[in-house]
Structure 1
Amino acid sequence: MGSWHRLRLVGAFGEQVQRTAKEFVKCGLVQVVASDAHTLKNRGFVMTKAYQVLNEMDSQYPERFVTNARNLLNGDKIKARRIEVPRKQRKHWLS
């Protein structure tokens, strides 16, 4: 998950996009949260907020993502979770 998804994780592009990013995390499709840290005049550095969101989702997520980022930078293997099929969301309350 690069900065594109990081910004989505914290809700910078709306609620629906944030829900989708969180679903990606929950399903095991995301292994690293990172920032490309360019164009800072137009975009704030929100890594702290991203890790707060991860912690709110599951208190084990921040350490998992920090470890994966460290391992990636060191050329070590990262731990990937088993990919889970996303739960089907109802479009209407009657369905």
Structure 2
Amino acid sequence: MLVELPYTHLPHYTGAIFYKMQLMNYIPIIAHPERNAEIKRKPNLLVDLVQKGALAQVTAASVSGMFGKESQKFSIKLIKHHLIHFIASDAHNTTNRSFQLKSAYNHIESYFSKDYLEYFKKNSVHVVKGTEFNSLTPKFFERKKKYFIFHLGK
């Protein structure tokens, strides 16, 4: 079941809702996590949700750079950390929010490989058919080290 999170935060009850969904045999698929401000600040929150059985899809326009370099870079990082299972068109119309799948597929193939691109395409088929597929083991993001500089005067 496709779940769209708020853009500003990750609700504190997300894990509990996802757990209840899974008890009812629904798999939560997180739509465009690359747009969620809290996941951007703390991407290991997404790792935790994926490890607990949620899936995630990025928007093709994010991967292709249509939403800017920052969104593109973060989408690529999520893919590198095996947190993304699907690439979605998120097309709303043919003028200002059109299909960007071809462009996203080209970017994925050039950043990663043709095999990785096929992984996303096959996953899309499996989810539509309701059949199982292999997902990659998610990788945690390393915590950024904080450095403090002290100036000791005379």
- What's the TM-score once normalised by structure 1's chain length? 0.80
Residues 23 and 86, structure 1, Cα contact 8 Å, conserved in 2: no
Distance 2:142 2:116 in 1: 19
Distance 1:17 1:89 in 2: 19
Look up the match of 1:47.
101
TM-align CA RMSD: 1.8
Look up the match of 1:93.
none
Match runs of 1:4-43 below 5 Å: 5-43=59-97
Unaligned runs of 5+ in 2: 1-56, 146-154
- Which runs of structure 1 show a deviation greater than 3 angstroms over 4 or more consecutive aligned residues? 87-90
Instruction: Choose 1 or 2 for highest CA Rg.
Output: 2
Percent of pairs identical after alignment?
25
Instruction: Quote how far apart the aligned CAs of 1:84 are.
Output: 0.5
- What's the TM-score once normalised by structure 2's chain length? 0.52
Distance 1:68 1:19 in 2: 22
Instruction: Quote how far apart the aligned CAs of 1:37 are.
Output: 2.7
